[in-house]
Chains A and B, each alone.
Chain A
Amino acid sequence: MSFFQVTDIIAIFPHLILVSGALIILILQISLPRYRTESAFIISIIAVTISTLISIFGLSSEALVSIFGQGASGLTYSGFLIGFDKLSKISAFSGHTIWNAYSGLYVFGILSCLLLTLLFTPKILKDINLNLSEAYQMILYTGAGLLFFVTANNLIMIFIGLELASLPLFVLAAWDRKNKSANEAGMKYFLLGVFSVAFLLLGSALLYGASGSMNLLDINGLIEGTGISTDMKRLYSAGLILVLVGIGFKVALFPFHGWVADVYEGSLTIVTAFMAGLVKIASVSVFYKLMILLGKPMGEPIMLTIIILSVLSMFYGNFTALVQTNIKRMFAFSSISHAGYMAALFVIPNTSRTGYLIHAEASGSLFFYAWGYALGSILVFGVIAYLENITKKNNDRVQITFEDLKGLSKRNPISAFLLSMGSLSFAGIPPLVGFYGKFYLLRVLFKENEIFLALMVTINSLIGVYYYARVVFNCYWDFEDEKSEEKSFAFKSVSAWISGISLGILILIIGIFSDFIVERAMFASLNFR
């Protein structure tokens, strides 16, 4: 018996591509005498593009056989566009990692966001003279870690994936190493990240103690079958709550939000895009997966707690965002409120009165919301990163405030347009993707008779409109005329142009094609186990 089987490799194929991309960069960096940083970018782009393409189109069995030989015959790696209807499932590493449609969905979500964020990166790093190839390695490791995180089927794999994603992000947060606030942000992110992971770990240990296994499907089978014995039930609940607390830190739900504002503000803005977009979509997926697979014995009081946390996150995030003057802080607090909206869906699978289908619908709308949110935040933070570099004087980092945005549409029309579009999408103005996300979310809540939550979401969206509209007003309204500074063109780099434009188009049109995406997401969530 060999250590590795072909199925193991296939199940983590995109992850492996990312990791090997990072390793190739490392090897080239050491071995090539005339090595240039650009090649690191190119290699990482190639790696991410290949794995994104795999996650979109999948690999047919012929392709797998031609890559891996006869051992792979009979397997297919389904992609988002092709093969999602085959209900394929690849279980690898004796069930520690499972590739199924649900995790494949989020693999696609994460990789697409990773690609778009990566395209923004080089010019920004170049502008602050920190365009080192290690940055690309860190980004690739983060991506791989997040993929391990969402494909995990074992509590320890969840832990390892989360750490593999977080450790490079701690480094990236403090990447601007001479800057005080970047260092502080890195430190805070690190301490709170490690602190939360300790809770996650304690929770996993307790779950293991209560059920005798760390495999999620095994625990789920136990729950569905004999059930947790009554004397272990408390242990089980405590364990699950601790695990959810650990992931709640990453989702930035209300009582675990303390790090968000400072870390988002202090880190390099492009790193903030990683945190806001990629980490959130991944951790939301795992949160929901845990709720479905393990949440059944938790009972009504804990569901009520999650509802309360969700509502508090909405209100806290919105009301604190209202009074901010710093744009990045504002988006940071608003990300807490978005976490609250998404958390409203976490309760659906376990309080559902209408059964299995609504769970699929909840999961589909969760993916759509999270993905749309991630795209929006990448766009917004990417544009802000460029604005920072344009407005900075004598090499100090600056923070963009609402004052700085005034007359932006004159000075930098493309940035103003994209920034406004991102904000309006967050605010839920149709026909942008944010509106459709909220639409599907409200639809699920209405169908499930959660009128209270639906009302809270609506009220909070209304509050949100105020500060998001402020961004747009500041961009397009010049109260004091003729403050015309020299015009600057938005991105100054081809790759950032590609990313910015494609994000803009995506945010504009995927709402209209939401049917296609949500249908796939729903189908994927039916194929959970």
Chain B
Amino acid sequence: MLTLSIIAPLLAVVIISLLPSSQKDKPNKLLMYISMAASIISMIASFVIAGQFSLENENFQLTETWFLSSLSGINWSFALDGLSFGLYILTAVLFPLGIYYSYVSLEIRSKQNEKPHREKLFWSSLLILETSVLGVFAAQNLIVFYVFWELMLVPMVLLIGIWGGKNRKYATIKFFIYTFGGSVFLIFGIIAILFFNTDGKLSFDITDNLIMSLNNFPKHIKHYLFWAFIISFIIKIPAFPVHTWLPHAHTEAPTVGSVILAGVLLKMGTYGIMRFSLPFFPMVSKIYTNFFMLIGVIGIIYGAWLAWAQTDVKKLVAYSSVSHMGYIILGMFSGNIIGLSGAYMQMINHGISTGLLFLLVGIIYDRTHTREIDNYGGLAKLSPVYAIIFMIATLSSVGLPGTNGFVGEFLILIGTFLTSPIITVFAVTGVIFGAVYMLHLYKQVFWGKPSEALLKVKEKISLNITFKEAIITVPFVIMIFWLGIKPGLLLDTTKAVLQKNISQSQNIQTNMNIGENIKAVDKKENIEKSGEGS
């Protein structure tokens, strides 16, 4: 089932590439049906998996093994555990929505005499993107993880580079260089694991054995490896000093690209930290905890300030992403189960709420072709349903109690407080800033008198949201409230594995400490003996 859901989009790509390409003014329905069918198949398959998923099991489950390779250690097998389960389902749900939205968007654009543009490649890229993201979350082997991690680059570069906005060339190159540069460190780190491993039989499978043998490495090596892994991940998140690719990529990407980027691609970075950096190198990450918490807090406040200063709606949402990802970093490095599960919750939340925000911005952009906040105003009167949905998304993003955003942020802040109260004080200010810029945006766009630009657009095309578009947003809204009211649903899936990881890390730490104490005692005895001798 797992393999089916990963491979189904890829099969659809094969079918699509065999179809003859036709240049028409209208979007090709057949292509949409094929891609929808593939993504819905993988969604249904993922629901079947969800039914089989056991909450008590803390290890990988539902394993499906394909190609075993004892020589290279690259075993092609897929499995899920508590860490990847929620993200996997989120991905599988998000893609059909994104794909359907793209079709609706193409329809609306074709009404305004915009010809669809290289459709076959477009649908193929989306589907390959789905495969790669699902593969990243289901990979049970470091190299397989890396394969899908890199595969993600190709469709994303195409999506931004071909169907992007005006500055797409710059944005694409920046995106490519940042992420590829990061992943080179990752592959070097992965292969270096082989080198320092002494028993010579290590495979790249992510198992407890791997974690144990990693902890026997020399100390400085562990530091290097930790950085090799984490550089790649914090670029993808993106955390504060390396976040600059994100606003450009988000702004220039087509709407579906932004939705996927915010919804699941950024989570690959945080997922990587939770899956690899923290359990693999518990000692080292303990040392750098304060550093990363600082990065997180800077990200929160800096992202919020920049978001407030933006005049472009999409850029504002993009910078709000930087701010939200700061919370996730805080939660992950807090090192206790409350913070970690908060971070996990926030990963899903951010995917839902920011994904919805980008989707909504895209919906209106299809009609107005402008993203400047100044061109908007009074949209609530022209498009009331749209205004309501946008309000829900805004409140979820701000973290109003009752929506999902609140639960995540609250857990993170509690978790952080247990570790580092001072940093929490600064982090809390981010909540206020978040409310400020989001509500400011809402006020500017929706309230007041309808602006001239909007009225002009209204003469050509109805600003009111269509039924099809409304349908797409419904699942998001449901998820926002459902997770807001019943967060246990999500937290239960990940509790077991988080507890296991934390206790494992503590074990390793105590073992290390005991080991060092023994060494120290030995040394002392030696010195004493030599002292006696002389």
Q: Within 8 Å by CB, do A and B touch in the complex? A: yes
> In residues 508-526 of chain A, which contact B (Cβ within 8 Å)?
512-515, 518-519, 522
- A-chain residues with CB within 8 Å of residue B143 when the two chains form the complex: 430, 439
Q: Are A465 and B72 in contact (CB under 8 A)?
A: no
For residue A170, CB closer than 8 A to chain B, the reply is no
Whether B67 and A429, one on each chain, are in contact in the complex, defined by CB atoms closer than 8 angstroms, is no
Chain B residues positioned under 8 Å from A430 (CB to CB): 143, 146-147, 150-151
Kindly state whether residue B76 has any CB partner on chain A within 8 Å: yes
Check if A515 sits within 8 Å of B121, measured CB to CB: no
A477 touches B161 (CB 8 A): yes
Q: How far is the CA of A374 from the CA of B254 in the complex (A)?
A: 39
Instruction: Please determine whether A440 and B72 come into contact, CB atoms closer than 8 angstroms.
Output: yes
User: What total of A-B pairs shows CB separation below 8 Å?
Assistant: 64
A233 to B329, CA, bound (A): 64
Closest residue on chain B to residue A414 by CB atoms = B17
Mask for A419-444, Cβ within 8 A of B = 1, else 0? 00000000001110001100110110
In whole angstroms, how far apart are the Cα atoms of A469 and B184 in the complex?
15
Q: Known contacts being A430-B147, A440-B72, A512-B76, is A446 close to B192, with CB within 8 Å? A: yes
- The reply on B295 being an interface residue by CB < 8 A is no
Verify B69–A458 contact, CB threshold 8 A.
Answer: no
Q: Does A406 contact B (CB under 8 A)?
A: no
Taking the complex as formed, is B479 at the interface, i.e. its CB lies under 8 A from any CB of chain A?
no
Q: A410-B118, A447-B195 are in contact. Are A431 and B147 (CB under 8 A)?
A: yes
Chain A residues with Cβ below 8 Å from B161 are 473, 476-477
- Within the complex, the shortest CB–CB distance from A483 to chain B, in Å, comes to 13
The answer for the CA separation of A515 and B72 in the assembled complex, in Å, is: 6
Q: Is B188 an interface residue (CB 8 A)?
A: yes
Decide: A512 and B67 in contact? CB cutoff 8 A: yes
* CA distance in complex: A413, B158 (Å): 14
The answer to whether the Cβ of A409 comes within 8 Å of any Cβ in the partner chain is: yes
Contact A518 B71 (CB under 8 A): yes
Any B CB within 8 A of the CB of A462: yes
Q: Which residues of chain B are within 8 angstroms of A442 by Cβ–Cβ distance?
A: 191
Is A356 part of the binding interface, using a Cβ–Cβ cutoff of 8 Å? no
Count of chain A residues with a beta carbon within 8 Å of a chain B beta carbon: 32
Q: Which residues of chain B from 44 to 70 have a CB within 8 Å of any chain A CB?
A: 67-70
Q: Report B131-151 residues with CB < 8 Å from chain A CB.
A: 143, 146-147, 150-151
The contact string, 1 if C-beta is below 8 Å from chain B, for chain A 100-118, is 0000000000000000000
The interface residues of chain A lying within 8 Å CB-to-CB of B417 are none
Partner of B162, one of A449, A458, A477, A512: A477
* Chain B residues near A439 (CB-CB < 8 A): 72, 74, 143, 191
B188 touches A514 (CB 8 A): no
A461 to B181, CA, bound (A): 12
Which residue in chain A gives the minimum CB-CB distance to B147?
A: A430
Q: How far is the CA of A515 from the CA of B70 in the complex (A)?
A: 7
- Contacts A430-B147, A431-B147 given; does A409 touch B121 at CB 8 Å: yes
B58 to chain A, nearest CB (A): 29
Q: Which of chain B's residues has its CB closest to A459's CB?
A: B184
Q: In the bound complex, how far is the Cα of B147 from the Cα of A522, in angstroms?
A: 25
Main secondary structure of the interface of B (DSSP, over half): helix
**Complex alpha-carbon distance, A435 and B151, angstroms:** 12
- Cα distance A409–B158 in the bound complex, in angstroms: 12
A460 to chain B, nearest CB (A): 12
- Residue A3 interfacial (CB < 8 Å): no
Residues of A329-347 contacting chain B, CB below 8 A: none
Whole-angstrom distance between the alpha carbons of A201 and B290 in the complex? 67
Contact B67 A513 (CB under 8 A): yes
**Cβ-defined contact, B192 with A436, below 8 A:** no
Contacts of A476 in B (CB 8 A): 121, 158, 161-162
| Nearest B residue (CB) for A509 | B67
Q: Report chain B residues within 8 Å CB of A522.
A: 71
- B150 to A429, Cβ gap below 8 A? yes
A4 partner residues in chain B, CB cutoff 8 A: none
Tell me which residues across on chain B come within 8 A of A447, comparing CB atoms: 194-195
Which residues of the other chain, A, contact B302 by a CB distance below 8 angstroms?
A: none
Bound-state CA distance A430–B72 (Å) is 14
User: A465-B180, A476-B158 are known contacts. Are A515 and B69 too (CB-CB below 8 A)?
Assistant: yes
CB proximity of A259 to chain B, nearest CB, Å:
33
* Residue on B nearest A458 in the bound complex, by CB: B188
A86 to chain B, nearest CB (A): 21
Residues of chain B with a CB closer than 8 A to A458's CB: 184, 188
Q: Is residue B169 within 8 Å, beta carbon to beta carbon, of the partner chain?
A: yes
Question: Does B178 interact with chain A (Cβ within 8 Å)?
Answer: no
Determine the distance from Cα of A7 to Cα of B406 in the docked complex, in whole angstroms: 81
How close is B29's CB to chain A, nearest CB, in angstroms?
21
Q: Which B residue sits closest to A455, measured CB to CB?
A: B188
- A450 CB to nearest chain B CB (Å): 10
Chosen A-B contacts, 11 in total, with CB atoms closer than 8 Å, are A413-B21, A429-B150, A430-B147, A435-B147, A439-B143, A458-B184, A476-B158, A476-B162, A514-B69, A514-B74, A518-B71
In the complex, given contacts A410-B118, A478-B162, A518-B71, what are 5 additional A-B residue pairs having Cβ atoms less than 8 angstroms apart?
A: A436-B72, A446-B194, A473-B161, A476-B121, A514-B72
Q: Which residues of B are in contact with A by a Cβ distance under 8 Å?
A: 21, 67-72, 74, 76, 118, 121, 143, 146-147, 150-151, 158, 161-162, 169, 176, 180, 184, 188, 191-192, 194-195
Residues of A in contact with B (beta carbons under 8 Å apart): 409-410, 413, 429-431, 435-436, 439-440, 442-443, 446-447, 449, 458, 461-462, 465, 469, 473, 476-479, 512-515, 518-519, 522
